[in-house]
A and B are shown apart, each in its own frame.
Chain A
Amino acid sequence: MDNQRVTSSMFDTDELVINMGPQHPSTHGVLRVVLRLDGERVVDADVVIGYLHRGIEKLCENRDWTQIILLTDRMDYVAAATNNLGYCETVEKLMQLEVPRRAKYIRTALAELQRLASHLVWLGTHAMDIGAVTVFLYCLRERELILDLFEEYCGARLTYNSMRIGGLPGDLPPGWDRKAREICDLVDEKVVEYEQLLTQNRIWLERTRGVGVISAADAVAMGFCGPPLRASGVYRDVRVDEPYAAYEELQFDIPIGAAGDTYDRYLVRLEEIRQSTRIVRQALDGLPDGPVMGKVPRLIKPPAGETYHAIESPKGELGFFIVSDGKSLSPWRFRVRPPSFTNLQLLPKLVRGHLVADVVALIGTIDIVLGEVDR
């Protein structure tokens, strides 16, 4: 139409550059996103991280192998037990240590309970960002019970230090497994409630369906991992592909999505909650007797060499690459492959073309923890 000359100069809009964060209620930590907007649409996003960098990897080079477990807690602080697990298993792999079966089962139960807690936090904050504030309180109510359980076991609610190289610090307190089972039953009931509030809610569907679509090819090419990868239709889960702890002996399903949008990522994580309760129950049912700590030398000094070991944390594939020089009491190089870091790479691609109001939903759907991203 020939009217461009009349209108475009009068209502011309330049590109707005808006800064979101690092202090912002919805960036889930100290994340800074610089958005370039054309009107209401996001043209590009630039993610600035590093606000929570504490130099953990370097610190580890000056701590001995057992002390490092304390530091790993503080990376993905929402899911500390899985960090512990990943690190301990990597060192055990380096030292070729045998972990007793009982320890493996308990570790599995702890990791899955941790997955529950992490996904509950994710669901609560994600729903709250989109406006359903009540779900946040409900999820946290259940998470409190899980934290109480952990407190009974290892004395802390957030930074657990719950595993040791070669096994566990101690056995389960009496009555713990009964409580864990009750909590699993409760969570299964409550998930039905969350679904009633959200899954078929028209507003929820409109805010999440078709928002932030990542195709399977893109997901694999750009390094997505964890539930977002599975939501895009890629069958990849470290617990199945490279089993660790007791996963080989347990039965569980891996939910796979189809559309790769925010709604699918929501459904996948919700189903993972159900599968986690299933795994915990199996692990506790089949708990073998025996010691919880393997034959570990008093002084932990892995032989010279390097190894990489990955586990499936609630956020995705959490990998540890450790180099030992065989002589000192600390690792020569300690490198973490945090799932949140690689998943965050896709944020610019996710938000491009969407509206400003979607950015918050998309940051939430990747499920990042800045402690992990920045270390």
Chain B
Amino acid sequence: MIDYVVIPLVQIAILLVGVLTAVAYLVLLERKVQAWVQVRLGPMRVGPHGLLQPVADIVKLLVKEDITPARADKWIYTLAPIIVLVPALIVFAVIPFGQSVTLFGVSIPLYIADLNIGLLYIVAVASLGVYGTILGGWSSNSKYPLLASLRASAQLISYEVAVTMTLVSMILVAGSLSMVEIVEAQQAQGWWFVFLQPVAFFIYFVGGLAETNRAPFDLPEAEQELVGGFHTEYSGIRFALFFLAEYANMIVISAIATTIFWGGWLRPFPSVEFLAFLDWVPGWAWFIAKTMVFLYVFLWVRATLPRYRYDQLMRIGWKVLIPLAIANVIVTAAWKVLVAG
């Protein structure tokens, strides 16, 4: 009973609180990192060095007047942000933050569920997030946000193909769909998989940038967009949900990259005995550190690179990344059959 109900509930509670706090502070981190790159300081007033800024932002969004556009579809208008946020959060159920931790004599695994089809679950759930984007634009009852939302979702589903292909190559290398087993396979094979599949990682990361609508693929939501983006008509808590979902997706992409490519909770060079002294750092600390590195890269890229035009974006997705990803699968499969056996 405790194993089935209590522990998972506690884990879920901790995870939700943790993820939502992380998302709120990620927003602050983005503003700070961008500011430092741009030779300025970012938010400094609310709290010491602006550390309470997320609180101020959330309070502001919550107390804003609840506006629904005149002829918008009320149900869908409210449903859209929820549809975007929920998949972003439930993906965390299969992400392993570590192996297990022993508290009060009870061994608690640092993941909510180790599905034997974990990776597939992630892809399936992520593919449902598209609906929120489409419906968000449609429910605003205006042509321009609808077109913008259709473009944003077309971008999403195009890059989803490339990302899924890279995950397929990773399944081939790891031999399993379970997230925990993938990390264990990295330990068994002695290498973080990024060293075995650098191309797959590159495609995954670029696809991840496009899936989360981050620079350089953020034209659909750029301020310079002439026709309003798909969340033009949203304000207050609904806008906050869209916003949270985008940042939660960023954390999801980083966490998955860490797990699949960069060894999850493993320390660097897990099979080298010489470095065993690094083991005093717990697994979940390595996991969080690695995820933070990717999040930083997300922010860094946004501060540095210009943005692609929509047609260039789609061309890269379809004509460059997908063929590359498919070629990667073929090469990996061939290597597995001919060499690894």
Contact = CB atoms under 8 A, between A and B. Distances in A.
Interface of A: 18, 20, 25-26, 35, 40, 127, 129-134, 136-138, 141, 197-198, 201, 203-204, 206-207, 355-360
A20 B227 CA distance: 9
A234 B305 CA distance: 32
A136 B34 CA distance: 12
Interface of B: 34, 37-40, 215-216, 218-219, 222-227, 303-312
Contacts of B310: 40, 355, 357
A35 B137 CA distance: 22
Contacts of B311: 40, 355
B82 to A, nearest CB: 30
A152 B244 CA distance: 48
Nearest to B216: A203
B93 to A, nearest CB: 35
Contact of B308 (A26, A137, A206): A206
B303 A355 contact: no
Given A20-B226, A357-B219, A134 B307 contact: no
Say what secondary structure dominates the interface of chain A: helix
Contact of A138 (B34, B39, B216, B218): B39
Contact of B304 (A130, A132, A360): A132
Contacts of A20: 226
B226 A131 contact: no
Nearest to A131: B307
A203 B224 contact: no
Contacts of A138: 38-39
B213 to A, nearest CB: 13
9 contacts: A18-B227, A131-B305, A136-B38, A198-B306, A203-B305, A204-B306, A207-B309, A357-B224, A360-B224
B283 to A, nearest CB: 36
Contacts of A206: 308-309, 312
Contact of A197 (B223, B304, B307, B309): B304
Contacts of A201: 305-306
A131 B34 CA distance: 13
A355 B306 CA distance: 17
Contacts of B215: 131
Nearest to B144: A18
A40 B226 CA distance: 11
A133 B300 CA distance: 12
Nearest to A20: B226
B206 to A, nearest CB: 12
Contacts of A131: 215-216, 218, 222, 305-307
B306 A141 contact: no
B318 to A, nearest CB: 16
Nearest to B308: A203
Given A20-B226, A130-B307, A357-B225, 5 more contacts: A132-B304, A134-B34, A203-B306, A206-B308, A207-B312
A357 B303 contact: no
Most buried by A among B40, B216, B219, B305: B305
Contacts of A359: 226
Contacts of B303: 133-134
